[in-house]
Amino acid sequence: MSEYLVGPADEFLPGDRRIIDADGRSIAVFNVDGVLHALRNYCPHMGAPLCEGETRGVMLPGSPQTFRYSERPTVVVCPWHHWEFDIRDGRSSADPALHARTYPVEVRADANVYVVVRSGR
């Protein structure tokens, strides 16, 4: 298991995104409404730098003839073919069998954010 420093937690605001190099592995950390999530910056479709895409909200369930949209940026859009991936669990809305790799994120006693990578991931 390896841990990678992302930066001070108090400088990581909702909506922020940081991309780090973790021994040659590009990983992005997103702050979604104060909760940190880490995704590999590699699209499982064809290998694009997934986490460099725009973030956006999603359509919510509603009654017939109504449209409800959440402004919370919980989705990242792949810059190559525009498939959407949930930042929180890496799941693709285009193909539920495809997942972007996710990693644990921790804020330690030193008030810094770390990404934890288990070996081989």
Q: Phi first, then psi: what are they for 51, rounded to 5°?
A: -80, 0
- Binding residues for ligand FES, rule: CB under 6 A, are 43, 45-46, 48, 78, 80-81, 83
Measured from the CB atom, the residue of 3 and 95 that comes closer to ligand FES is 95
Cα 116 to Cα 72: distance, rounded to the nearest angstrom: 25
The answer to whether the CB of 13 falls within 8 A of the CB of 35 is no
Least separation, in Å, of the C-beta of 21 and ligand FES? 20
CB of 94 to ligand FES, least distance (A): 7
Nearer to ligand FES, 6 or 38 (CB): 38
Q: Provide the 10 A C-beta neighbour count for residue 33.
A: 9
> Least Å distance between CB 6 and ligand FES?
23
Q: Of the two residues 44 and 73, which places its CB atom closer to ligand FES in the complex? A: 44
Query: How far is the C-alpha of 16 from the C-alpha of 8, rounded, in Å?
Result: 12
